[in-house]
Amino acid sequence: MLFGYLNLISLATWLPLLSLIWCAYSTNTTATNLSLPVVDLGYECHQAISLNETGGYFNFSNIRYSEPPTGNLRFRAPVEPSSQDECLITNGSEGRVCPQSAGNWSIIAREFAQSYVAGLPFNYDLAISLLPDSPAAVSSDGRTTEDCLFLDVIAPQSSFNRNVSDLPVLIWVYGGGYSSGEKTGNGKFNPAGLLAASGGEPGFIFVAMNYRLGAFGWLGGDEVGADGTVNSALYDQRLAFQWVQKYIHLFGGDKDRVTVMGASAGAGSIMHHITSFGGAKEAPAFNQAIMFSPAFAPAPTDYIPTMTLDDLMQMLNVSSLDELRSLPSDTLIAANALQIYSHAPYGNNMYGPSLDGSFVQALPGQLLANGSFHKNISIMVSHNTLEGLTFTRPTIKTSEDYLNMFRHSLPTISNETLSFISDTLYPAVFDRTYGYKDQFQRALATVQDLAIICNTRYLADAMSDRAYGVQFAVPPGIHGQETSYVFQNGLTSGVTTSVADSLQSYIVGFVMNSVPTDVDGSPIPLYGPAAQLMRMAPSGSSVISDDTANARCSWWQQGLYA
């Protein structure tokens, strides 16, 4: 089953563009190095690498926020940089990308989605036969390094002229199935459109960070817990949020007005921050969150994380985490790429958040249901109308195929529970009474409920008096489609401009004034007891009732499928 299609479509198509520019946000730059500001962080002095004169903002690129997570720090929580007596000036001209990969199924998913939406036949066997043998044949990136924990700060020029630290901050957490992605999206996550939508001065500050991926950031199981950090990538993100608290005033930002925003795996990560430590420890370092299609493959036990670790060790002929930690970087980078590419089941990139007894004490839905989450956070949460298409195997045609989907993705599920799902929640009735017309659509509905859509219901229901809901209904409504609307900057193709303008207006209104408002000033209503959503479509926006407020999502939220 799942997870993480956001940017998997583009993994093979964007990576050849990597050599285009040294700074993904830098355009229309004429300022000299002498005129670009320098910020003293205590451990380095970082100079802006560019000034966008059209937008009026500086780009501080590739700022280190952690010591290199290498050597003994591999598979452990990150450590903040050590202070330095000497102010060494750097401008972040060297880009960094965390080691990554994607399952070979994502290539098929891209092709199948295009055929399905167009109503064309799809030859699955042919697609399988044409797959490249290895991830190296799909993509490579010379910037790849384990020492990848860097972030970018895009700050208005006026914030330095005014010498005041009062601007709201928007932190971007990218998606990519917990196995791929990087902070700029190779230029696709350019905030120019969002910054322009703020109406100019005073504007806001945009921050984007890298975090560890695949085996480097998401190893799980008891052995990792005993001699490492399960979910170390969540700690990467947490450290980046804390970095903003400590340093953003130097760029003109207000640490008490921080919104985090993510899509797909990025939004799924944010969901885990909201439920971090069961709501009992220090709250995450943000007061607002925007989550587009929060997604992850639920791991109700440590069975799958343990099997994934064992599989990686077997590939590398090692028998302990300590041996794995001692391997050369190139060896582990190659093994991580090959494991995910070749071993990941359809719709799933093998890695992601898992239970650790600390940061992730239970499934987020369970924690939200019993009140074990950080409550002083306002949210805007959104889902698309066809989320499951890119995660559902095209060959599901029988009830046995449907049941086998669960046996592979939830291997500890009981026969009794499986029968309840297949007989009661998603029965094999194909007259559209249950929203599907065949076995494939039945599987699609199940996948998107379990791993994406119901997550939005859990969040909005638990935080209903501080939640704003959106349904992104621009056809075809596949997972990740809204991201091009979020970052529309006038140059983005295939985007309905009116919808993009409204979505960016909602985002900016929420970031700057805590209320998402359209270009005409009309707000999205609170989710509230009535479970209201703003439906966004090419024909316009309208308030509807949330159809995820249903028995299916209520059952999934209990986590009874362990």
CB burial of residue 32 (10 Å; 0-12, 13-18, 19+): exposed
Tens-place pLDDT, residues 23-66: 445 445 445 565 899 999 999 999 999 999 999 999 999 999 99
Structural domain including 51 reads 8-390+452-557
Residues with Cβ within 8 Å of 264's Cβ and at least 6 positions away in sequence, in order, are 4, 5, 6, 7, 175, 176, 177, 292, 293, 294, 295, 479, 480
Distance CA 451, CA 408 (A): 15
Average pLDDT, the chain: 92
Q: Per-residue pLDDT for 7 more than 90?
A: no
Q: Amino acid identity, residue 29?
A: T
Residues with Cβ within 8 Å of 173's Cβ and at least 6 positions away in sequence, in order, are 209, 211, 237, 260, 261, 262, 266, 267, 269, 270
Tens-place pLDDT, residues 504-513: 999 999 999 9
Whether 412 is in a domain gets the answer no
Whether 26 is in a domain gets the answer yes
DSSP state letters, 20-85: S-S-TT--S----GGGS-EEE-SS-EEE--EEETTTTEEEEEEEE-S----GGGTTS---PPPP-S
Report residue 10's pLDDT band, with 50, 70 and 90 as the boundaries: very low
Distance CA 522, CA 148 (A): 41
Report residue 20's pLDDT band, with 50, 70 and 90 as the boundaries: very low
Whether 38 is in a domain gets the answer yes
Whether 166 is in a domain gets the answer yes
Whether 150 is in a domain gets the answer yes
The set of catalytic residues is: 264, 387
- Is residue 238 within 8 A of residue 244, CB to CB? The reply is no
Return the closest-CA partner of residue 203 out of 245, 167, 166.
167
Residue 391: per-residue pLDDT:
98
Between 121 and 494, where is the model more confident? 121
Tens-place pLDDT, residues 216-247: 999 999 999 999 999 999 999 999 999 999 99
DSSP state letters, 123-157: -HHHHHHTS-SSGGGT---TTB-S---EEEEEEEH
Distance CA 493, CA 40 (A): 39
Look up the CATH number of the domain holding residue 233: 3.40.50.1820
Whether 247 is in a domain gets the answer yes
Residue 13: per-residue pLDDT:
34
Residue 225: per-residue pLDDT:
97
* Number of domains within the chain: 1
Between 148 and 139, where is the model more confident? 148
Secondary structure (3-state) at 485: helix
Distance CA 231, CA 402 (A): 30
Distance CA 389, CA 78 (A): 35
Residue 386, strand partner residues: 478
Q: Per-residue pLDDT for 4 more than 80?
A: no
CB burial of residue 259 (10 Å; 0-12, 13-18, 19+): buried
Residue 137: per-residue pLDDT:
54
Q: Amino acid identity, residue 222?
A: D
Report residue 185's pLDDT band, with 50, 70 and 90 as the boundaries: very high
Tens-place pLDDT, residues 504-548: 999 999 999 999 999 999 999 999 999 999 999 999 999 999 999
CB burial of residue 5 (10 Å; 0-12, 13-18, 19+): buried
Residue 45, strand partner residues: 40, 89
Q: Per-residue pLDDT for 389 more than 50?
A: yes
Predicted TM-score (pTM) of this structure:
0.94
Q: Give strand ranges (E) for 210-360.
A: 253-263, 288-292
Residue 138: per-residue pLDDT:
55
